[in-house]
Amino acid sequence: MSIYLDLKNNKDYSKLQEASNIIKAGGIVLFPTETVYGIGADCFNEQAVKKVFQAKGRDFHNPINLLVSSIDMVNMVANNISDLEYSLMKAFFPGPFTLILSKKDTIPSIVTAGQSTVGVRMPNNEIALKLVEYSGVPLATPSANLSGKPSGTLFQNVYDDFNDKVDCLIDGGNSSIGIESTIVKVIDNVPHILRPGAITAEQIKAVAGNVINDFSASPSDSLKHYSLNSKSILVYSSNNALMISKIIEIAGNYKNPIIISQSKNIDNYKNFHFIDIGNDMNSIAHNIFKALKEADNYNSDIIIIEGIEQQGLGTAIMNRLIKACDNNFIVVS
């Protein structure tokens, strides 16, 4: 039976000492961050990290990033850190930003899938920071989702998936951002974005002077992500009326369609089952994984998702949606 800690309604963070003791004893803990929920283990304990892989059903070829609570803790796991890498950490730590660094030999190869680098992030969430701090070590922490499925942003969803698979679950309420961190690797003194997130290319360029989008270079890019049980399709047009028309046309070909839509377009889908994800980019990012899970539970014969402009945070949102639809993506012009 997993230990349950309610820090959503009772913000007594001294309770995190109990969770950190579980980490120190080789256990695994599910906890919130500002991006999505995660499952953490002592990064130096190979057997504990293995439990994380097993709980998620995660491919051992898929490396796990580390969460730290300070720059000093970064130095426990990484070496040969450049001035630019320090500048990026200064600018974006704590926050939804993961930096790929040269790893120290003390990191077990299971964490990095045998690679010479390791991803490091300092979360901007008090529960996560305190848990790492009390544990005294960086935590190997992938997102709290069954491997290949949408990431967990609501505690109830991750509880249902992991109540019998982890040693402790910490309820910190809903994730504030709702999509995973931006992942960056500095190559030849230029930041390469391996996965887009809430920290945008424009923000990184303001610090580094240059940036390259290199999404296909992510080590896990060849693996399935955010896959849904139902058939799904993503539709986008810069002309909103054309996009709506195409979605209604597609929906009319199915018996039980469900449409994931921005608030401004909901009235157009009153003859169909729909899920409202908000209008602004922050609301959409916050709601998108919750909407995907809800749509998948509806048992429809088609999930149709409105696309958004791939700019700023929209780039990260569309990156997740294209993967969720297994590249079944229509652009209407």
Give burial (CB, 10 Å; 0-12/13-18/19+) of 25.
exposed
Question: CA-to-CA distance for 179 and 184, rounded, in angstroms?
Answer: 15
Question: CA-to-CA distance for 326 and 252, rounded, in angstroms?
Answer: 22
* DSSP output for 262-311: -GGGGGGGTTSEEEE--SSHHHHHHHHHHHHHHHHHTT-SEEEEE----S
Say what the pLDDT of residue 169 is. 97
Tell me which H or E stretch contains 75. Answer: helix 71-77
Say what the pLDDT of residue 149 is. 86
Render each residue's pLDDT in the chain as its tens digit; 333 residues.
Answer: 789 999 998 889 999 999 999 999 999 999 999 999 999 999 999 999 999 999 999 999 999 999 999 999 999 999 999 999 999 999 999 999 999 999 999 999 999 999 999 999 999 999 999 999 999 999 999 999 998 888 999 999 899 999 999 999 999 999 999 999 999 999 999 999 999 999 999 999 999 999 999 987 665 555 566 778 889 999 999 999 999 999 999 999 999 999 999 999 999 999 999 999 999 999 999 999 999 999 988 889 999 999 999 999 999 999 999 999 999 999 999
Strands 29-31 and 38-42, how do they pair?
antiparallel
Cis before 94? omega within 30: yes
Give burial (CB, 10 Å; 0-12/13-18/19+) of 80.
exposed
Say what the pLDDT of residue 218 is. 60
Give the SS3 label for residue 225. Answer: coil
Strands 139-140 and 66-67, how do they pair?
antiparallel
Q: Which amino acid is at 308?
A: I
Distances (CA, A) of 10 to 114, 132, 175: 41, 19, 17
Q: Are 300 and 272 in contact (CB under 8 A)?
A: no
Say what the pLDDT of residue 220 is. 57
* pTM: predicted TM-score of the whole model, two decimal places: 0.93
